[in-house]
Structure 1
Amino acid sequence: MNKNILTAIIAFFFALLNTAFAQEKSIVLGGKDGWPALSKMDGIVQGKGRFGYDAMVLATNSRPLDKDTDLLINFENNEVKDISGNYSVTSNSLVSAEKSFMGKYSGLSRGTGGVRLRGGKDTIFGKQGQGGSITIEFWLKPSIAENGEIVFSWRSSRTVAGYPLYQMITASFFGNHLEWSFTNVFNGYVKNGGEITLSSYTTIIPEIWMHHAIHFDQNTGAFEYRINGKLEDLKYVTTSGHEAGGSVYSPIMGVPADIDICPQYTGLIDDFRIQRTSKSEVSEDLGIDNYKISGGRFETEPILLSQGSSVVSLNAIVDKPSETGVEFFIRSGDNFYNWTEDFPEWIPVRPGEKIENVSGLYFQIAAELYPDGKGSRTPSVTQLSINYKEIPSPLAPFKLTAVPMDGSVVLTWPYSVDDSVGGYYIFYGERPGEYLGRDALEGQSPIDAGNSVSIKLNGLRNGKIYYFAIASYSKYGSRIMGELSKEVFARPSKK
């Protein structure tokens, strides 16, 4: 059989294989290889998903400031400060940690002093005189919950009948329980040496997040301690010791003194807040996750494929607890630099279903996550797989011939057997494999020869050797180029 015919047949079959099998491709985001950088994460953080891999989940909703906020440290923005502006930090040993319960950051205490704050003249702990209703709350994840560890401390004094009376508020661990002690804080209360103690019934488990809240209601005298919204201990600070039948002992604050948070504690703490109210946003029924009902959204960076590619389908590994939801969107175009938030239009898609009429050089995927109606559960997206068809790179002509002439070289080749070819690029240069030529009058390398089978390159220097190769480009776009042919060379000469 003629060698040229055999070569053509082989090239033809390679073209068929290229068309039949090389078009289906996929890109995987997340899963075992992790997530790349995303262009947008609004209300979204990385958490744990299926198989223990990192997943996109809703960010928990950090506590907001309101008219009753006396102090709020949410540890966001890698800062340890009172975002209400009522208290100033006088010393700090806490550091920000990304293992948070609310928002993105929490505070890490290594048992070396915690943070000390000084209240302004209008704060609960920054002024003398009668106090009112109060809530002290925070999320806690202790490392060991060792006896004697102190989570909160305030020490002061006030004068009664001309004598100093020491005051103290502490929250300390004893036998894997957190115990609150208020000494000489309530005016006229003298039982137990003026000390009122509230202890947790629930055992504090290391490495588990729990919400702790102490509430005092100045109207009823109810003094209660709750963990995760569940009542742990309740006492009435009244003359009768009950809800009815007596008057309330009001809190009296003595000389302004600093408060210490985590002065002798090892572990994490998040969203420490003091409120001038006895009301709590955390209840046993509602739960404590508090995801925003509006949900969150993440968007990938624009993903570069190839000219003329089209998305076929989107597959996703998701977990959707009861009442939660996840919606996916996709958009595409050839130039993402002019994209805006709403252009090109986002097209809703469903995982596993066929996607039509979505093609271009760039693609972008978005997902919206929604919690349940109570805001207590979040869905998760562990992995995304974008399946797409890519226009195969066209085959180069199987032969290239170079004939030297006076100051020029004539290149000839047969048409490629690939019917997707739209034209040919000629590459040339002065060293093997380096096609950086600039001598030809027809232009610098590479030269678009169009859909022809020959070209004459003029303006070349006699006696100088030149190397040439040819590549096909697709009829679907000149940027879709195949591999280079085998290299040939020629040396122009006056002979």
Structure 2
Amino acid sequence: MRSILLSILLLFLLSGLYGSDQQIFLGEADLWENVNLTNLTLIPGKRGYLDITNQDNTHKPDKHSDMIFPFNSNSLADETGHYELISPLTLSTQEGSFGGSAALFAGSEPLLIQKKASSLFSPSTIWDDFSLEFRLYPATLKEGSTIFLWKGLQMVDNQLIPQEIRCTVNNRKLVWDFENFFLYPDSSLNRVTLEGEKLIPREWTHHQILFNSETGLLEYRIDNVPADSTHTSKSGRESVEFNIPVIGNQQSFPIELGENFTGLIDELSLTRSISQQPQLNRYTDSGYMESKIIDLQSPDSTLFLIEAEQHLPDNTSIVYDFALAQSKIDLLGPNVKWENYIVGNPINRKGRFLKIRARLFAEPAVDSAPVLSSLTIIYREAAPPHPPLNVAITVSDGIFLISWDKSIDPTIDGYMIYYGDQPGVYFAEGSPVDAGNNSSYLLEKLDKNRRYYFSVTSYRNDDRRIESRFSREISYSP
């Protein structure tokens, strides 16, 4: 019977070494406020919370940017500040649009864009290198519909010369006409035309006009593949003499987009450079999330599991790493020791401070990206050991013998004796004393003529000493 009771007590003590499982959540209710994102973004997710996914390849303003209209719900304006919309804009969330939406055209009035600050379309502006680009999704390819139109006026020898950049649908192709846009030395009238390949309705394509001011090469690319090109010389061939773009000195009219066009236009931009590669894929190839340092409260806390709620379309992936340490310092700087982790696999490692990293890999070929909704960290904080029982004191010839019943807890590494001259206040000289893993200890330097109060704790030595609460207090009176 005694052995059965001891076994039950041992099981109770072992189960008490650790508290109940605890959980820490990243995402959902905390809205990912404890993570840092690189090339990732937050999007509306399940149950009204936010999800993490790869960032859209939308244009970002730089020193070369003259116009950027992403046509996104959170960014309706020109991000360079040079232009403004002066007619109503309707957005569509058609799949494939960058940033989640694009400008919608219903086959009628154009969208008007007016310059409002110094820009490339300001009168008398001489252009150097430039790139004009947008993404196009035609629902239909109506003959003669206009995709892009700008008009200006140039005064030469008291004569007004009209200027145009016009992009229209002709025989299921986009045709670009530049009328008197490239200034000839003799001010003669001129027209430069570029023509693309036939388009397929209800498919996204990227269109880009590039001009190299060092060679005079004017090029039209579709999905970054050359479709047509010419030189702005009088012969249209490469020459040391060619003409450069000049905006008329009289008037620059608003830009018109999408007159009589049915479909979507997205990511309209104008740049004073031809060095940047166009973004043909919606998502960045990869990005990563790194959590801030998470405190598991105790060096003896056991990290059991990290669970993830995620969505992985075909050929996308999320790779997880974690770093567990006893000190915050070990989780700072570039030398963090990351360990790869497969979601759902047990970890069973001890430590106090934790960081988690998730690397998200998109699939550019089909414009799909993984989605991370939440992370759940499952751990158990170590409970302190139980104090010893039956603490007693025996005094003989001024020597104090403190004794106790050793714990049957096999993880106990030793005992500490505390004493003082007031109840519960154990600050007497020499207190506390490490009694080792014994069941009694002799205190020889105490004054037998003073009153003392004693208590004993048990402790475990893992990565640091963890003590129990105080035992029942005993006292000595002379």
Say if 1:439 and 1:392 are closer, same or farther in 2 by CA, change over 3 A.
closer
Asked if 1:71 is matched to 2:66, the reply is: yes
Partner of 1:233: none
Give me the whole-angstrom Cα distance separating, in 2, the residues matched to 1:35 and 1:220.
49
Task: Assess if the C-alpha contact under 8 Å between 2:83 and 2:114 holds in 1.
Answer: no
Alignment of 1:179-190 (within 5 A): none
Question: What is the SS of the residue equivalent to 1:41?
Answer: strand
Partner of 1:41: 37
Asked if 1:315 is matched to 2:307, the reply is: yes
Asked if 1:297 is matched to 2:288, the reply is: yes
Equivalent position amino acid for 2:289 in 1 = F
Give me the whole-angstrom Cα distance separating, in 2, the residues matched to 1:310 and 1:319.
28
TM-score computed with the length of structure 2 as normaliser:
0.57
Question: What is the SS of the residue equivalent to 1:386?
Answer: strand
Alignment of 1:269-348 (within 5 A): 273-274=270-271, 281=278, 289-292=282-285, 295-305=286-296, 306-339=298-331, 343=335, 345-348=337-340
Say if 1:325 and 1:8 are closer, same or farther in 2 by CA, change over 3 A.
closer
Alignment of 1:459-470 (within 5 A): 469-470=455-456
Task: Assess if the C-alpha contact under 8 Å between 2:303 and 2:380 holds in 1.
Answer: yes
Equivalent position amino acid for 1:473 in 2 = Y
Asked if 1:396 is matched to 2:393, the reply is: no
Say if 1:407 and 1:252 are closer, same or farther in 2 by CA, change over 3 A.
farther
Give me the whole-angstrom Cα distance separating, in 1, the residues matched to 2:391 and 2:466.
20
Task: Assess if the C-alpha contact under 8 Å between 2:304 and 2:346 holds in 1.
Answer: yes
Say if 1:127 and 1:449 are closer, same or farther in 2 by CA, change over 3 A.
farther
Partner of 2:345: 353
Give me the whole-angstrom Cα distance separating, in 1, the residues matched to 2:319 and 2:300.
26
Alignment of 1:40-439 (within 5 A): 40-63=36-59, 69-71=64-66, 116-119=116-119, 123=120, 125=122, 127-128=124-125, 135=132, 137=134, 158-162=154-158, 252-255=246-249, 273-274=270-271, 281=278, 289-292=282-285, 295-305=286-296, 306-339=298-331, 343=335, 345-355=337-347, 358-374=349-365, 376-388=367-379, 391-401=382-392, 412-426=403-417, 439=427
- What are the Cα deviations for residues 296-318 of structure 1, in whole angstroms up to 9, with x where unaligned? 12222343333344444332211
Question: What is the SS of the residue equivalent to 1:374?
Answer: helix
Say if 1:327 and 1:216 are closer, same or farther in 2 by CA, change over 3 A.
closer
Equivalent position amino acid for 1:415 in 2 = K
Equivalent position amino acid for 1:474 in 2 = R
User: C-alpha root-mean-square deviation of aligned residues, in Å?
Assistant: 6.6
Asked if 1:452 is matched to 2:447, the reply is: no
Give me the whole-angstrom Cα distance separating, in 2, the residues matched to 1:52 and 1:216.
43
Question: What is the SS of the residue equivalent to 1:326?
Answer: strand
- What are the Cα deviations for residues 64-108 of structure 1, in whole angstroms up to 9, with x where unaligned? 7899x5526699xxx9x999xxx89799xxxxxxxxx979xxxxx
Equivalent position amino acid for 2:27 in 1 = G
Say if 1:296 and 1:259 are closer, same or farther in 2 by CA, change over 3 A.
farther
Question: What is the SS of the residue equivalent to 2:306?
Answer: strand
Equivalent position amino acid for 1:37 in 2 = N
Give me the whole-angstrom Cα distance separating, in 1, the residues matched to 2:251 and 2:395.
95
Partner of 2:27: 30
Say if 1:60 and 1:129 are closer, same or farther in 2 by CA, change over 3 A.
closer
Alignment of 1:7-26 (within 5 A): 12=10, 14-18=12-16, 22=19, 24-26=21-23
Return 5+ residue gaps in structure 1 as ranges. Answer: 92-100, 104-112, 140-151, 171-181, 191-201, 203-209, 230-249, 262-268
Greater CA drift, 54-63 or 321-330: 54-63
Could you tell me how far 1:370 is from its partner in structure 2? 0.4
Asked if 1:488 is matched to 2:473, the reply is: yes
Task: Assess if the C-alpha contact under 8 Å between 1:132 and 1:276 holds in 2.
Answer: yes
Task: Assess if the C-alpha contact under 8 Å between 1:138 and 1:273 holds in 2.
Answer: no
Say if 1:402 and 1:60 are closer, same or farther in 2 by CA, change over 3 A.
farther
Equivalent position amino acid for 1:274 in 2 = T
Say if 1:291 and 1:391 are closer, same or farther in 2 by CA, change over 3 A.
same
Say if 1:10 and 1:470 are closer, same or farther in 2 by CA, change over 3 A.
farther
Give me the whole-angstrom Cα distance separating, in 1, the residues matched to 2:354 and 2:69.
37
Say if 1:457 and 1:44 are closer, same or farther in 2 by CA, change over 3 A.
farther
- What are the Cα deviations for residues 224-278 of structure 1, in whole angstroms up to 9, with x where unaligned? 9x9xx9xxxxxxxxxxxxxxxxxxxx975123999999xxxxxxx988543667x
Question: What is the SS of the residue equivalent to 1:118?
Answer: coil
Task: Assess if the C-alpha contact under 8 Å between 1:134 and 1:274 holds in 2.
Answer: yes
Return 5+ residue gaps in structure 2 as ranges. Answer: 85-96, 100-112, 137-147, 167-177, 184-188, 192-200, 224-243, 256-265
Asked if 1:440 is matched to 2:428, the reply is: yes
Say if 1:337 and 1:271 are closer, same or farther in 2 by CA, change over 3 A.
farther
Task: Assess if the C-alpha contact under 8 Å between 1:424 and 1:451 holds in 2.
Answer: yes
Task: Assess if the C-alpha contact under 8 Å between 1:297 and 1:368 holds in 2.
Answer: yes
Could you tell me how far 1:56 is from its partner in structure 2? 2.4
Give me the whole-angstrom Cα distance separating, in 1, the residues matched to 2:340 and 2:450.
63
Identity level (%):
21
TM-score computed with the length of structure 1 as normaliser:
0.55
Partner of 1:234: none
Question: What is the SS of the residue equivalent to 1:307?
Answer: coil
Question: What is the SS of the residue equivalent to 2:16?
Answer: helix
Give me the whole-angstrom Cα distance separating, in 2, the residues matched to 1:65 and 1:441.
70
Say if 1:459 and 1:58 are closer, same or farther in 2 by CA, change over 3 A.
farther
Equivalent position amino acid for 2:339 in 1 = I
Could you tell me how far 1:291 is from its partner in structure 2? 1.6
Task: Assess if the C-alpha contact under 8 Å between 1:329 and 1:365 holds in 2.
Answer: yes
Question: What is the SS of the residue equivalent to 2:429?
Answer: coil
- What are the Cα deviations for residues 424-473 of structure 1, in whole angstroms up to 9, with x where unaligned? 345567887xx7x5742224xx654432345549678987886x654322
- What are the Cα deviations for residues 88-139 of structure 1, in whole angstroms up to 9, with x where unaligned? 9799xxxxxxxxx979xxxxxxxxx9994324xxx56474468897525599
- What are the Cα deviations for residues 334-367 of structure 1, in whole angstroms up to 9, with x where unaligned? 33414566645432221223346x4433333222
1:479 pairs, out of 453, 460, 465, with 465
